Amino acid sequence: MAQEQTLSGRRAVVTGGAGGLGRAIATRLEEAGAAITIIDHGASLANAEVPSDWHIEDVDLSRLDCQDRMRGIASVLGLVDIVVANAGVVPPWRGMDALDADEWQTVMAINVWGVAATLGAFAGALAQTGRGSAVVMASLNGYKAHPKQVLYTASKHAAIGIMRAAAQDMGPAGTRVNALAPGPIMTDALLARIARRHAAGGPAPEDALAALAKETALGKLATIDQVASTAYFLASDASAGLTGLVVPVDGGLA
């Protein structure tokens, strides 16, 4: 492995790291040599089988006091080289005439406050290294919109705004902040949503996936591993000149 790409001797913190994209990203960073801390909560941790050498912290990012909890974690860890603010939720699709106030508050708490609180809590620990890298999990919905996705779209637009502001605030200490923007990725969550739509009269899962793939320049969906590898690139010194950027991982989605 090229020296500038190894993460040996570095500490990475990944929120939402018990499963899905967060788990894949944590695994990829570990493969590059990083020591891993994952932050997740509740059933996600209870059902997860993670490597024994990973450090695990139980934090509910929907709580307003989550930043205080994470500041405590940062203090215990000391130097942190990489933070991946990955934790997020995808709400049910709703039109503008069917918004739910409680649902709105919950999703915005996790997808927006959770990202800001994570970056804020670990800003000092990242600054101590002089080469810190933070990666925010955004989405193609962070820069475009689709029908019946106003809440998710609003939350991911906000996540990108936080990333851009954090890049300015944290840059003087040597910390880079960038965002990943996956398109449709064949995660368990995506497959579950497609199955629910099919049960409600929507297209068969194989037809829905084929239609999504047809919209890309490559003719296929980007994969979980490709998202994880892009996160690794942004975390490593191979991207040392990049900050404040949104990097799509979508197979060239039109």
Three-class DSSP category at 103 = helix
pLDDT at 1: 45
- Percent of the chain's residues with pLDDT above 90: 89
Q: Are residues 67 and 122 in the same domain?
A: yes
Across the beta sheet with 55-58, what order do the strands follow?
55-58, 35-40, 11-15, 82-85, 133-137, 176-182, 246-249
Q: Are residues 148 and 44 in the same domain?
A: yes
pLDDT, mean of residues 186-204: 87
pLDDT tens readout for residues 70-122: 999 999 999 999 999 999 999 998 999 999 999 999 999 999 999 999 999 99
pLDDT in tens, 155-187: 999 999 999 999 999 999 999 999 999 999 988
* Helix (H/G/I), strand (E/B), else coil: 217: coil
- On whether both 238 and 143 belong to a single domain, the answer is yes
Q: Are residues 157 and 39 in the same domain?
A: yes
Domain span at 162: 3-183+223-248
CATH code of the domain in which 35 resides: 3.40.50.720
Same domain, 210 and 124: no
Overall size of the chain counted in residues: 254
Q: Which amino acid is at 201?
A: G
Whether 61 and 142 map to the same domain: the answer is yes
Count of domains forming the chain: 2
The answer on 192 and 179 residing in a single domain is no
Neighbouring CB atoms inside 10 A of 102's CB total 7
CA distances from 133 to 51, 83, 166 (A): 23, 7, 11
Neighbours of 230 (CB within 10 A): 22
The answer to whether position 253 is within a domain reads: no
Question: pLDDT tens across 22-37, in order?
Answer: 999 999 999 999 999 9
